[in-house]
Amino acid sequence: MRENVIEVGQVRDYVEESLRTSGAQFNRAFQDLINYIGRFMEFEVEFGRYQGVQGQIGHDGLWRSPLGFCLVIEVKTTDVYAIKTSTLMSYIDELISEKTIADRDHVMGLYVVGRSDPEVRQLENAILAEKRMDQLRVISAESLLSLAELMNDYDVSHEDILDILRPSGPVIDPVIDLMAKLAAQPTDNNMQRVEQSAIKALEPLASTIIEEKRGEAAYWLTPVKADDVQTAEEVIESLVGNKGIYAFGERTPGRRHLKPGDGICFYATGNGVIGHARAASLPEKKPNPAVRDPERYPWVFNLEDARIYLDSPVVIDAALRAKLDAFDGRDPSTSWAWFVQATRKVTAHDFGILTRISP
């Protein structure tokens, strides 16, 4: 796999596929892929075991930084198994006893979670209750991929990544320095690429006014993420499929431009597009209790002609991305999270591909 996977965007494709499909081989693939992400971030990675072996340390991965710090990885697809912090702590203690790791000052346990689940919240609470914030941390596979993409696309170093991952000390300067570094870019080396990305990002909104004047329908793609209560699929099925509504936040891109007649499709993060509908009203600031976190997403609009296809998502893989106008002039195998990180306007052509219909 290492020879075939040379771009972070490819890893994201494989991660999403492994989480969409149940079975032991896909769980094992997910574990391997998480370890590949470590290599993209310049860790020396030792792959762990798929299952426990008596007399052997059962960690899922050991990542060694050239700066002398280690991460002991525990990968969870959150398949309803209880997560005990004592297990990962015992792996760390055993590695220290074997002198594989120097001491507790140079190691941290990192849980990498594939899907949001109530068990994850219980894990977070356990870490807080047991006062192990300096020893254990939790990150989603989505966020870990985003960190790898930052290293790939921006002037972000391994040291910057390590400052984010490991428990922060009393000084927060490293995180602020990274934010300032990102804000100060583009540099001379990546100016053209970032300018092209900015143009691509602005094109949808810039053309919206023209289309509104013509009275033509616009088309939108909006991402939906899971939380500790509901999966993205449950949110879409409940609001779009059952209640015929959806909601935007104050700063959701396109909120002021969405209008009746526009098509909108819904991307379940890490899965694919699983539904689409037509806007039947303008967004109005009327918080609806049916909406998850209605104070954060108070702009509610009605939908019509909704279709939900949970069992047959439209997967945004490299083959599909190569057909989209949004990726014109781009390598579809490189980082592509920018396309699904926020609500965006898409062309009629792309909407048809993303929903398997002709708009």
Q: What would the pLDDT profile of 96-148 be if each residue is shown by its tens digit?
A: 999 999 899 899 999 999 877 666 778 888 888 888 988 999 998 988 998 99
Which residues are CB-contacts of 164 (< 8 A; sequence separation ≥ 6)? 147, 175, 178
In a domain, 2, yes or no: no
- What's 240's domain CATH number? 3.10.590.10
Residue 189 has pLDDT above 50, yes or no: no
Residue with tokens 């391997």: 32
- Which of 163, 184, 205 marks a domain boundary? 184
Positive/negative CA dihedral, 94, 100, 105, 106: negative
Q: Burial letters for 283-312: b for 16+ Cβ neighbours within 10 Å, e otherwise? A: beeeebeebeeeeebbbbbbbeebebeeee
Does the pLDDT of residue 259 top 90, yes or no?
yes
Instruction: Please tell me the total count of domains within the chain.
Output: 2
In a domain, 1, yes or no: no
Residue pair 246/299 in contact by the 8 Å Cβ criterion: no
User: Same structural domain for residues 201 and 116?
Assistant: no
Note whether 171 and 203 are same-domain residues. Answer: no
Residues 145 and 224 in one domain: no
Q: For residue range 17-47, list pLDDT tens digits in order.
A: 998 888 888 889 999 999 999 999 999 999 9
Query: Could you tell me if 17 and 154 lie in one domain?
Result: yes
225 confidence band (pLDDT: 50, 70, 90) = confident
| Shared domain check, 230 and 108 | no
How far from the centroid of its chain's Cα atoms is residue 50's Cα?
24
Pick from 184, 203, 231: which residue ends a domain?
Answer: 184
State the pTM of this model. Answer: 0.72
Beta carbons within 8 Å of 219's beta carbon, 6+ residues apart: 262, 263, 264, 265, 345, 346, 347, 348, 350, 351, 359
Tens of pLDDT, residue by residue over 315-348, are 999 999 999 999 999 898 888 988 998 899 999 9
Do 296 and 151 fall into the same domain?
A: no
Q: Are residues 72 and 164 in the same domain?
A: yes
Q: How far is CA 295 from CA 287, 288, 299, 309, 355, in A?
A: 6, 9, 9, 28, 30
265 in the same domain as 134 = no
Strand order in the sheet with 61-64: 44-47, 61-64, 70-76, 107-113, 136-140
How far is Cα 359 from Cα 357, in angstroms, rounded to an integer?
6
Residue 82 within any structural domain of the chain: yes
Indicate whether 208 belongs to any domain: yes
Domain that holds residue 121: 8-184
Q: pLDDT (tens digit, 9 = 90+) per residue, 53-70?
A: 666 778 899 999 999 999
**Alpha-carbon distances of 275 from 258, 316, 358, rounded to whole Å:** 17, 14, 15
Closest by alpha carbon to 31, among 171, 141, 177? Answer: 141
Burial 260-274 (b: 16+ CB within 10 A, else e): eebbbbbbbbbbbbb
Q: Assess if residue 240 is contained within a domain.
A: yes
**Which residues are within 8 A (CB) of 177 and not within 5 positions of it... i.e. 6 or more apart?**
160
Token reading at 47 = 């792959």
Point out the domain boundary residue: 184, 201, 228. Answer: 184
Same domain, 135 and 83: yes
Q: Based on the fold, state whether residues 159 and 203 are members of the same structural domain.
A: no
CA distance 274 to 268: 7
* CA distances in angstroms from 168 to 82, 97, 151, 194, 356, listed in the order given: 27, 25, 20, 30, 46
341 falls within a domain: yes
What's the mean pLDDT in 266-284?
95
| Other beta carbons within 10 Å of 277 | 25
Contacts of 292 (CB under 8 A, 6+ apart): 227, 229, 230, 235
Q: What is the CATH number of the domain that holds 78?
A: 3.40.91
Question: Between 47 and 77, where is the model more confident?
Answer: 47
User: Are 209 and 140 found together in one domain?
Assistant: no
- Residue 86 and residue 29 share a domain: yes
* In a domain? residue 302: yes
Q: In this structure, is residue 3 part of a structural domain?
A: no
Q: Is the pLDDT of residue 80 over 90?
A: no
In 40-175, the DSSP E strands lie at 44-47, 61-64, 70-76, 107-113, 136-140
